[in-house]
């Protein structure tokens, strides 16, 4: 459904990785970027008891956080070097318990605009090699100029 | 806008606190329940660099996580002892940077039903005694029977 | 929760009414503006069988449409004369069947910004003098310059 | 992303068409079902000035209404004969002006559950043979027993 996107800044990959590295919350979760392409970003996090809700599954907050980041960085891949990305809002539907050794969020840009970008994100739980879509997100992002 | 609600289980407060204590993710964030009333729950978290995004503010994932929990536990206050609460979905709008020493989420039930409950949540950042609404959520929850 | 807002254009009321009058869809529904204040707009529509879903209640599309318009015009009250309003996205939770003689949407601005505004909207059904909140919305709007 | 779905009631198509025919609001819009498969429904509406917003495009309320219906009927294709479908909530992002001769909403089921179903919907505007995705929805639906 989403068209192919062309990056406008040739250093897009480095910009995304540097922004990701500055997020203390991603380090706290142990999240890492698995895959980057123009308009696409996937982020994974391994299970630890500290990431659980009351039944021992991944907490919905973890699911939402990596989902939000995967969409945000997917959008950032298409921005020029003078712009950064802000989440305006997102909706997350929790489809199934997030049970497994790993959680992976796949963000993809549906529309990139001068001000507003829109992404869809799927979050999958991987348990014993089997993947289950445990959440889907729809997300609005805004391009803002980096203050000089 | 929201009507007054009556709890159906007299041990509602204890049930909520016990469920909260079982969430590893709440401990990881350092979140704590500040206030509980039938249909109302507020949750606070103090700032630490590990909870930051790339500019040193609270990460949107933290905002969303405590917002989701505040709504979920507000709904749980009205359930009977044989039921627990699942988040079906939520929408979060990020209104302002979450800058400050503390973040507090105020969840309130708008509708409690046999299956579906709906909450609104405000998240405020507190900096030097001044509060700013930094996020609002709208949330759908489901009542499920605790497996015996 | 929402602060008081000051309009920046003294002709805000006239601008809102003129924009509303140009919407063929509002005429088709028979919707009319009931109340306008800076940051606030309410819109009502009387029941007709043409506005029904399969059980004879107001269709969720009608509920969403007047809810979206009430939030959009609430935001527009605070804009300057050179700006118009676009809905970026909205979420609507349907809380109860929309049964009654009239449906009224109450939109209020939560945040007004240079680019992005955020509203909350309640939609109430009125039946025999008794009102029921049948839907709530959370909505993101964008200020755009009117092309000259 | 969405798996293939099997209908449980062999008369699923007839049930969907009958429910659609009972919706006065679909008749008012001039909407019609274009395509039905298990887990899939598309709905189209031709342009008329009565369906416009203030610039003469399709009103966002029309976009939302046929989007909501396309998702709802996609979910209904998978229900048994004793169940009907209610929209719990939906989020709609408006991506581009809905300009054209026709608007078509494509709903697809992402998850079908005992109580909750979740759909994604794309709405496209068709102008001179060229299609543009003008809105995307994410939607939560509930299965309810038809009162006997």
The structural domains of chain A, with segments of one domain joined by +, span 12-145
If you average pLDDT over every residue of chain C, what do you get? 94
Q: Write down the pLDDT at residue A3.
A: 57
> Mean pLDDT over residues C118-145, rounded?
97
Q: For A46-60, B25-39, B128-142, C7-21, which range has the lowest pLDDT when averaged over its residues?
A: A46-60
Ramachandran region, residue C74 (left: φ > 0; alpha: ψ -120 to 50; beta: rest): alpha
Per-window interface: A 83-102 vs C, CB < 8 A: 88-89, 91
pLDDT tens digits, C48-62: 998 988 788 899 999
On the question of pLDDT at C1 being above 50, the answer is: no
The answer to whether the CB atoms of B61 and A27 lie below 8 A apart is no
**Which of C25, C66, C90 shows the shortest C-beta gap to D53?**
C25
On the question of pLDDT at D3 being above 60, the answer is: no
What's the pTM value of the predicted model, to 2 decimals?
0.95
**Which of B93, B110, B122 shows the shortest C-beta gap to C140?**
B93
On the question of pLDDT at A53 being above 70, the answer is: yes
pLDDT tens digits, A81-106: 999 999 999 999 999 999 999 999 99
Q: What are phi and psi of A64, to 5 degrees?
A: -65, -40
Q: Write down the pLDDT at residue B144.
A: 95
The answer to whether the CB atoms of A59 and B25 lie below 8 A apart is yes
On the question of pLDDT at A1 being above 50, the answer is: no
Confidence at A2, pLDDT banded by 50, 70, 90: very low
Q: Write down the pLDDT at residue D94.
A: 97
Those residues of chain B that have pLDDT short of 70 are: 1-3
**CA distance, residue A91 to nearest chain C CA (Å):** 8
Confidence at D124, pLDDT banded by 50, 70, 90: very high
**CA distance, residue C30 to nearest chain D CA (Å):** 11
In this prediction the ipTM stands at 0.93
pLDDT tens digits, A106-132: 999 999 999 999 999 999 999 999 999
Confidence at A4, pLDDT banded by 50, 70, 90: confident
* 3-state class (DSSP) for residue A28: helix
Tell which residue, A88, A106, C148, C105, has the closest CA to residue D1: A106
Q: How far is CA C68 from CA A77, B42, B56, C91, in A?
A: 32, 29, 35, 9
On the question of pLDDT at C3 being above 70, the answer is: no
Neighbors of chain D with 3 or more C-beta pairs under 8 Å: A, B, C
Taking the Cβ of residue A122 and every Cβ of chain D, the question of whether any pair is shorter than 8 Å is answered with yes
Residues C33 and C26: beta-carbon distance below 8 Å: no
Taking the Cβ of residue D133 and every Cβ of chain A, the question of whether any pair is shorter than 8 Å is answered with yes
Residues B33 and B106: beta-carbon distance below 8 Å: no
On the question of pLDDT at C104 being above 90, the answer is: yes
pLDDT tens digits, D54-111: 788 899 999 999 999 999 999 999 999 999 999 999 999 999 999 999 999 999 999 9
Q: Write down the pLDDT at residue B3.
A: 57
Surface-to-core class of residue B18, CB atoms within 10 Å of its CB (0-12 exposed, 13-18 middle, 19+ buried): exposed
Q: How far apart are CA B6 and CA B27, in angstroms?
A: 29
Q: How far is CA B68 from CA B34, C46, C73, in A?
A: 15, 36, 29
pLDDT tens digits, C60-96: 999 999 999 999 999 999 999 999 999 999 999 999 9
**Which of C91, C138, C142 shows the shortest C-beta gap to A116?**
C142
Q: Write down the pLDDT at residue B55.
A: 80
The answer to whether the CB atoms of B51 and A25 lie below 8 A apart is yes
Q: Write down the pLDDT at residue C18.
A: 94
On the question of pLDDT at D1 being above 80, the answer is: no
If you average pLDDT over every residue of chain D, what do you get? 94
On the question of pLDDT at C36 being above 60, the answer is: yes
Fold for domain B12-145?
A: Thiol Ester Dehydrase; Chain A (3.10.129)
| Cβ neighbours, 10 Å, residue C59 | 24
């Amino acid at each position: 459904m989403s068209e192919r996107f062309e990056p406008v800044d040739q250093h897009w990959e480095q910009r995304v990785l540097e922004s990701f590295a500055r997020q203390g919350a991603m380090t706290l979760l142990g999240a890492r970027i698995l895959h980057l392409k123009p308009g696409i970003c996937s982020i994974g996090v391994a299970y630890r008891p500290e990431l659980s809700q009351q039944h021992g599954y991944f907490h919905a907050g973890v699911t939402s956080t990596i989902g939000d980041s995967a969409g945000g960085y997917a959008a950032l891949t298409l921005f020029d070097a003078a712009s950064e990305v802000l989440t305006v809002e997102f909706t997350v539907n929790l489809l199934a318990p997030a049970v497994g050794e790993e959680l992976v969020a796949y963000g993809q840009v549906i529309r990139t605009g001068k001000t507003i970008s829109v992404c869809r994100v799927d979050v999958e739980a991987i348990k014993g090699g089997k993947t289950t879509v445990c959440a889907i997100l729809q997300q609005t992002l805004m391009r803002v100029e980096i203050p000089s």
